[in-house]
Structure 1
Amino acid sequence: MSEVNKDGAEASKKLGGMNILGVLYGFVKKLGTVAAVYMLGYYNLSVAWLITPVIFAVVREEWKKESESKRNIAKAAALSNEKDVILARIDDLPAWVFFPDVERVEWVNRILRQVWPNMNNWTKGLLKESIEPNVRTSLESYKMYGFRFDKMILGSIPLRIGGVKVYDRNIDRNEVIMDMDLFYAGDCDISFFLSGVRGGIKDFQIHGMMRVVMKPLISSMPLFGGLQLFFLNNPVIDFNLVGVADLLDMPGLSDLLRRVVVEQIANMMVLPNKLPIKLSDLVPARLLKIPEPEGVLRVHVVEAKHLMKKDISMLGKGKSDPYAVVSLGAQEFRTPIIDNNVNPKWDFWCEAMVSSLNQQLVSLEVWDWDPGFPGVQNDDFLGRTTFDVSNVKKKGQVDLWVDLQEAKHGMLHVRMMWMELSKYSTDLKAAIAETQELRVTSMSTALLMVFVDSAKQLPEARPAKNPDPFVIVSVGKKEERTTMQFRNPNPVWEQGFTFLVGNPEHDTVHVKVVDQKTEKLLGLFSYPLTQLLNAPDMELESQPFRLAQSGPDTKIFLSLQLRIMKAGKTEGDSASLVATETDGAGVTVADKELEPLLPETGKTLPGTPGESTPTPVSKFLSKESLRQGSSTSLPSLPLAEESVSVGAPAPTAELSPLPAASELRNRTTSSTSSAGEAGLGRIQLTLRYSIQRQRLIIVIHKVANLPLKDPAYIPDPYVKLYLLPERSKESKRKTETVKDNCNPVYDQTLEYVMSQGELNSKQLEVSVVTRKGFFSSGSPIMGQVVLSLADYDLTKAITSWFDLQPEVARE
């Protein structure tokens, strides 16, 4: 009985102690709150200094709960067997559930479960040797230094294969290709140091479609000479930061670390990058490691319409500052930012190398730019669209208006062209002519593949010390680097790179061997690509080249291949294109037929003049097509005077007929000395529409016989253009001013980016304006002419004189 009383007394003492501590904690908490409010008032600080950290902490906590919940669900799916996975959420279902040609491989998952503990050493070496130096370099660009891995443990949850598809059609007989739905949601434990602070990564997850290429087939074991591993598109990646790095695990800052991780995986094994594994010494490394692009996809992001308004102004919803991002595998291209515009016109061109036609997707995303911390995703999402590259290849070229997905509204005008790779140097002339027609300096005519094999007898970087050499290969502005070989005068790199070449007749490939520690140049080599044009099939295989500024016997071994880009053959009509929707892992979910949409209505209008008909690039605006083009079916007017096309970018053509109501207004006379019907002078113009460049091109040649009302005030004329019906600031164009002249000569080209379908609804207002006020009581506009673009066949160049008319009254 006494023992019971003793235990009760001790329990009451503990309870009393806990109550005292609780009272003290509550007192200190309330005292701290009162002190904080007092300090805010004492120093005249805003209450926002107190509320903002509280709100920020609550938002961060809720975000972490949501992220942790997703990771736990994915981890549970990775641990489940096949029967349990069937009952999971739709997002966690394996690929074989969606696609009948994807086979279940649960027996592979059981094997992986057994060998998983033995994969830890291989993973540790991969992280330390390949990923760590690249992550360190990427973080240094954001002023974060000293990154290194400390501990790397894979954990007990193995990799999981959701399904396998083996290709048996339209492939090389000397290789085996299969796609694996790869899913890893493990309990790994990775720790690292960054800027002297220790952090960690747990619950790392990755989901994507990985392709395995086994080639070449050989007659001895293991029957395959090697493997190529790569992701077709960027995989979905997520992880949880722990330790001091947990402070960065919040919306915005965590995006920076995730972006760096995604970039490193993309640089290592997302197309066009591949991870080669050599299995047999009978196979040269060049067959596995040299780049093998199947072609080049040329993308033209023309414009967008009716985008969402994301910026907030004083009066409510403002506009957006949109830009577009084009992604193909690890390749990413970004358009310029157009400020305060929901109908931007980018006229942006880019070229992406395609290494696999099967299942590779090109994605176009539109974003609203917002200022913020560099490297952090501050921008607002405006929508995306995705296309299957193989469908673009079948069409040859496509020109589409597409609705943006995952957005309330918005449309994107995009044009794509498939470029084949030719090993005939005779195709170069046509490729150069095509890029000149585009008038885009960034376009390429050829593709160069460089394989850096090895070097021999490199000089010492320091006395009695072997160098740590790496190679820098550059063509034009692009530069690529090999890995560093430690303390080796005879290094073997075996790395391949691909370069887009503007003009092989003028470009040169430069190779430099550098010591990493001293940054000393160990050798230099330059090779003009004109020499490669004359080589058999434009190839050089494992050739030794002597390095300049090095030892007398120092050589580097390279393989070079040059391919000319030529427009792919057009199959059928480009009036439709298969756009592909995918899940987060890049697995195709559904295909959908899209038809060209006119931006004004958003409806399909088959048979309208706005539809684009695929035409080989070599036929765009060629002289033969202009000379031999079919005549118009409309009743023709009497021929205008023969024009002199001074400085015109295209051949001269006759003026297309106009409707009867416009004949008098835009009449052309047979005498260039005439001042026109209204006595206000005449203007000579060239008009044409470039289908390839999606541009309306106007050449202002000259103005003749402007009236001189006062000899003391000779006009200073210039020409101003507007696109009607809206007379907006964006559609305004003007020439230079010619001083004291009634017969000014300009020969100046002005352009508008617009789709062919828009021509039917636009008018061009051409005004001759003076900067002198000799019309003191009137307008500075001396005369103007309004042309309805629908009345002309602008695919043919039109050069003619037009009578200037009095200014049209504006409403």
Structure 2
Amino acid sequence: MVRVVMKPLISKIPLVGGLQIFFLNNPSIDFNLVGAADILDMPGFSDILRRCIVEQVSKMMVLPNKLSIKLSDEIPTVDLRMPEPEGVLRIHLVQAQNLMKKDVSMLGKGKSDPYAVITVGAQQWKTKHIDNNVNPRWDFWCEAIISSKKSQSLQCELWDWDPGMGIQNDDYLGRCSLDISQVVRFGRLDTWQTLQQAKHGKVQLRLSWHRLSTDVTELSRALTETLLIKTGDLSSAVLSVYIDSCKKLPNARVQSRPDPYLMVTVGKKTENTAVQLRTDDPVYEIGYSFLVQNPEIDTLDVKVLDQKTGSQLGQLFYSISALLKEKDLTMLTQPLMLQKSGPESKIILSLQLRILKEAIKEVDIDEESLEAAVSEPSPPTPSPSVSSAATDTTDGGASHPRPQSAAPADPLPAQPASSGDTELKNIEDSVQDDASQRSVPEEIIDKEVDSPQENQPPSGRDSPKLIHRTSSLTTSAGEAGLGRILLSLRYSMQNQTLYIVVHKIMNIPLKDPTNVPDPYVKLYLLPGRTKDSKRKTVVVKDSCMPEYDEQFEWVIPLAELHSRQVEVTVATHKGFLAGSPVIGQVVVHLNQYDFREAKTLWFDLMPETSPRD
């Protein structure tokens, strides 16, 4: 997805001072080579060429990089090109489990040599590979500067390392993705993500979101936190640098103007600007962001180099601690004298320092207004039921049975339950519960779904006009007596992806106490029912109440979403009811749900209607 930001607004035509154009995440780029270039369209060369093109696009206009276009001379260029990070995402890739075995030995056994590639926008990290292990533990830490917390996502790809040159020799082990907005919501998140495009496997990620502050008192806490983690490479602040230009540089050779470029370094990260040809007054107008481990001792190092000769034309050492004494930790555009250069050589730049705040749950305006509503409840107002899959809660706090809809779309419920304080406490407890964090990408499972009421009659005003199979309130074993399955449904407009989480199954009938089923769940996209759309959970041995908490995803264009269905089949390896492996089945019609918010629903298992594999 590409985003265009028009800012700032001005009173003259063209009404905006400039444009910022950028991709939120790395785009998918595909092309065909024709003519003389067709010689490069061969295995190995083609992959390298495509990867080089993607890397160049990332450096140019994938966050945090932006393509800035100035439309009015009234607007300072620094307003468009100074980086504006919203926060830092701290990533801890802990481990993976049950990965596919890609290196098969002569005896039929096999292993993999897995490594992970983590991508956030144009930022990418790669772990070391671990030999002969399908349950690797990396304990890998990295940090990503986030420019759009509501839109960016984290991608994690796993590969099996094989000897040879380049990634084309490595085998794919699967991938997972996570919206950063989910981490922002909770502050910290410890989650197991099921690998997609893989037969099996999952990966554990521990994530924390750190906002940025101009409060210097936050620095001691940030430094203490990095010392406790003991990795040695974590940051406590973010430095944004905007370099406007250099003035009166010396010549590298007699009677020859230099071709200067800048090498900007903070800590272990170095950025190089473009080369300005044959000038001693180069203009760069470029911004960078750097993670700073300790602002009290770290420095900004800027070297001015000549491309022709490789000689140094000047250098600037700037102690970042000086910004701690500036107002708002900001140094506005001003010239600084270059060292080891001409007598009047200078560099014009702006600097901005921000301190990482503690990772806590962010409270938005909606949640604050909700808390006010809980403290001062309004008179009850009847609310008709929209769907039989859930019953609604009135504005005044009176709640009705909700045997089907098990989760709200936000961390706090849209309307208070019978006791506001108790409901809020349960929600806070569920945020800390690992099981709830790993279950649904963008919601928390409400406590009451764990035990659906068996003989609870529906309220009169909750009687639906449209009856779905998911609305059975007769028994917790379901309408057909085959049990019930709890699913979460979510659609990401940004990624054009449908997410389904299989949580658990309740009350699978036990016909023979000596033959307890080994249930698993398989899912297909309809129509079509192809092998590519098949997803399958792990097998739970000897259980009539299995729990999975596995997430699956399908890429579906929004235009096709409401014409698709998902077939969910519960089966067992032991055979069931005269030898059939199928316990029950349900078809989820996606056109019956509003995917502007996530849904968590109980579905009754019905007798099999679709053909088996």
Partner of 2:361: 570
Report the equivalent of 2:152. Answer: 360
> Which residue of structure 1 lines up, in the alignment, with residue 12 of structure 2?
220
Alignment of 1:557-636 (within 5 A): 557-570=348-361, 572=428, 573-574=431-432, 575-576=436-437, 579=441, 587-592=495-500
Aligned 1:471-620 pairs, distance under 5 A: 471-570=262-361, 572=428, 573-574=431-432, 575-576=436-437, 579=441, 587-592=495-500
SS class of match (2:357)? strand
1:455, 1:490 within 8 Å by CA — same for their partners in 2?
yes
CA distance in 1, matches of 2:293, 2:150: 28
* TM-superposed deviation, 1:551: 1.2
Q: CA RMSD in A?
A: 2.6
CA distance in 1, matches of 2:42, 2:491: 25
Cα offset, 1:604, TM superposition: 5.0
| Rounded Cα–Cα distance in structure 1 between residues aligned with 2:302 and 2:357 | 28
Q: 1:341 to 1:424 in 2, by over 3 A?
A: same
Shift of 1:519: 1.5
Amino acid at match of 1:313: S
Q: In structure 2, how many angstroms separate the alpha carbons of the residues matched to 1:440 and 1:317?
A: 36
Could you tell me which residue of structure 2 aligns to residue 305 of structure 1?
A: 97
Residues 604 and 335 of structure 1, relative CA distance in 2, 3 Å threshold: farther
Change over 3 Å in CA distance of 1:582–1:355 after alignment to 2: farther
Aligned ranges 1:760-779 → 2 under 5 Å: none
Mapping for residues 83-482 of structure 1, pairs under 5 Å: 209-243=1-35, 245-374=37-166, 376-482=167-273
Q: Matched residue of 2:169: which SS?
A: coil
Cα distance in 2 between the residues matched to 1:499 and 1:595: 41
Aligned length: 396
- Given that residues 576 and 594 in structure 1 are in contact (C-alpha distance below 8 angstroms), is that contact kept between their aligned partners in structure 2? no
Q: 1:579: how far off? A: 3.5
C-alpha contact (below 8 Å) 1:417/1:567 kept by paired residues = no
Structure 2: which amino acid aligns with 1:394?
R
Partner of 1:668: none
Give TM-score scaled by structure 1 length.
0.47
Whether the 8 Å CA contact 1:252–1:378 is kept in 2: the answer is no
Identity %: 53
Residue number in structure 2 paired with 1:55? none
Paired residue type of 2:69: I
Cα distance in 1 between the residues matched to 2:73 and 2:319 = 33
Deviations 1:238-295 (A, max 9, x none): 1222345434322333111110011001110111110000000000000111111111
Contact 2:490 2:500 in 1 (8 A): no
Contact (CA 8 Å) 1:303, 1:346: kept in 2 or not?
yes
Superposition TM-score, scaled by structure 2 size = 0.61
Which runs of 5 or more structure 2 residues have no equivalent in the other structure? 363-427, 443-488, 505-537, 550-613
- CA distance in 1 between counterparts of 2:307 and 2:237 reads 32
Q: Are 2:210 and 2:359, in contact at CA under 8 Å, matched by a contact in 1? A: yes
CA distance in 1, matches of 2:490, 2:12: 40
Q: CA deviation at 1:567?
A: 2.4
For 1:466 and 1:401, how far apart are their aligned partners in 2?
Answer: 58
User: 1:678 matched to which residue of 2?
Assistant: none
When residues 297 and 601 of structure 1 are mapped into structure 2, their CA distance, relative to the original with a 3 A threshold, is farther
Once residues 492 and 271 of structure 2 are traced to their aligned partners in structure 1, the CA distance between those partners, rounded to angstroms, is 30
Q: CA deviation at 1:427?
A: 0.6
Deviation, structure 1 residue 395: 0.9
Q: Work out whether residues 308 and 409 of structure 1, in 8 Å CA contact, stay in contact via their aligned partners in 2.
A: yes
Q: Is the 8 A contact 2:70 2:77 kept in 1?
A: yes
Alpha-carbon deviation of 1:434? Answer: 0.4
Aligned-partner residue type, residue 345 of structure 1: R
Q: Which amino acid aligns with 2:312?
A: L
Residue 437 to residue 305, structure 1, CA distance change in 2 (3 Å)? same
Alpha-carbon distance change, 231 to 221 in structure 1, aligned in 2, over 3 angstroms: same
Alignment of 1:627-646 (within 5 A): none
Structure number with greater Rg is 1
| AA aligned opposite 2:95 | E
CA distance in 1 between counterparts of 2:65 and 2:107 reads 49
Aligned counterparts of 2:492 and 2:130: Cα–Cα separation in 1? 29
Q: What aligned pairs does 1:730-745 form with structure 2 within 5 A after superposition?
A: none
TM-fit CA distance, 1:591: 4.6
Residue deviations 1:535-566 (CA, integer Å, cap 9, x gap)? 11111011211001111111111101111112
Looking at structure 2, the residues matched to 594 and 399 of structure 1 have their Cα atoms a distance apart, in angstroms, of 18
